[in-house]
Structure 1
Amino acid sequence: MIFNSFIFIAFFAIMLILHNLSFTWKVKKINLLLASYVFYAAWNPPFILLLWLSTVVDFFVGRALYRQENKRKRKLLLVISLIGNLGMLCFFKYGTFLLDNFVSLVNLFGVDFHPAKPDIILPAGISFYTFTTLCYTIDMYKRKSEPVRSLLDFSLFVTFFPHLVAGPIVRPPQLVPQFETPRKATSQQLTQGLFLLSLGLFMKVLVADTLLSATADFYF
C-alpha cells in the first residue's frame, strides 16, 4: 500500500472517521495499531513477524537496560539488541551483496566457489523500524530517557503507519508522549493537515512522477 494510491486514500479516510468517533483513548490507540499492521501487511503479510519480533524484543530489552545496574549484564543486553536488529538488517538488505563479495574474494585466491543465488526479498521499511527500536535501546543504555511504560504505546511508536515505511527515524520522547494522553485535532489543524497531505500528493503524482520523471531519468 503506497501513499499515492486510491486504496491508501480509502484506508486513510476510514481511519480518520474511526479516530473521531466516541471511543475511549485506549480503543483509538488499538485501532491505530491494528491499522498500522494492516498497512504494513498489505504488501507481504509474513514480514509482519519481523516487525513484531523487533518491537517485542527491544521493548523488554530496553526496560531491562534501564533498570539493570550490573555493567556486564547491561552490555550483554545491548549486544542482544544490536545483533538482533543489525543481523536482521544485514541479512535482508545486504545478504546478497555480502555473499557476492565473499565469492569474489575466495575466487581471487583460486577457490572455485559458486553458491546458489539467495532469493532474499527486502522487507518494506526494515531500515526505519530496526533503527527506530535500536535507537530506543541505545537511549535506554545511556539512560537518556525513561523506558516506555506501555507495550501498546511502544508498539504504536514503532509501527505508526505515517512514518513506518518512509521515516523519519524518531526517538520515543518525540512521539510517545502524544500517545499517552487523549488528543483531538482542532478544525484548523485538520484543515492544515489535509492541505499538507494534498500538497504532498500533488508534488509526488503530478510534478515528480509526471512532469519531471523523464528529466530525472535522463540526468540520473
Structure 2
Amino acid sequence: VFDKAERLRDMSPTLLPSLLKLQEQTRTPLTVILLSHLPWSSLLTRTPSIDPTTLLIIPFTPYTKPTILSIMARDCPPSEDTDFFLKFVEMIYDVFQRPCKDLNELRHLVALLFPKYVEPVLAGKVTRQQTGKLFANIQFYIKETLHSIYLREISSSEWQKTSENKNLYQSVVRPALYDVELPFYTKFLLIASFLASYNPPRLDVRYFSRTGDDRKKRK
C-alpha cells in the first residue's frame, strides 16, 4: 500500500510502471494499492504509457461535516465531557474548513489547541458554558496556526512548553515558516512566475509560446 502516491511523480518515471507490474514480474499474488488525493490522470504526467483500463480505480467522496465530527469525537480525552469537546471540534472545523480539508491535519490542530482552550476551565477562571471567553483566549493561537497549516513545524509537546509565552512561541514558529522545501515542479513554477512578473504582459506570447509572436512588425 502506497499512501500519497502522487509523490511517485518526483521519482524515476519507470518506478510507477514497475510497481503496477509487480505481480507479473514476481509471479506472486500481489496487489499494489495506491492512495492519493489527486485523480489518476495527474499521476500520469511522466508515465503516459500506462493504460488506465487495466486498473481498478475506486473514487472516495470527501467526508461530510457530520462524518468528520463523528470521527474526531473519538479523540475526546477520557476525562473530558464529550459535548464540550465536540463543540470545540466543530468550532475548529468551521474556522479551518476552507484552508484545510485533511482529516488528520484537523485532528492534529485539535490536539494542539484543545489544551489551551480548556486551560482557563481547569484553572477555575471560567466555566465550560462561557464559550465566548474560551474562544477569545485562544484567538491568538488560532491566528498563528492558520499561517502554518500542514507544515507541522512544532510538535504537541513543544507547543505545550512554548505556548505559555506568546513571544517565545513566535520565536519558535516564525523562523520555521521560511524553511520549507517545495515540491519539484512547484519550485520551478514559482521561479518562472517571479521572472515573468518582470516582463510586460504583451511579451508573454513571445517569451512563453512555442509559436512566438506572429504579428508583423509595423514599418
Specify if TM > 0.5. no
Asked which structure has the greater CA Rg, the reply is 2
User: Shorter chain as normaliser: what TM range?
Assistant: under 0.3
Greater relative CO (CA pairs within 8 A, separation 6+): 1
Output the TM-score relative to the length of structure 2: 0.25
Structure holding more helix per residue: 1
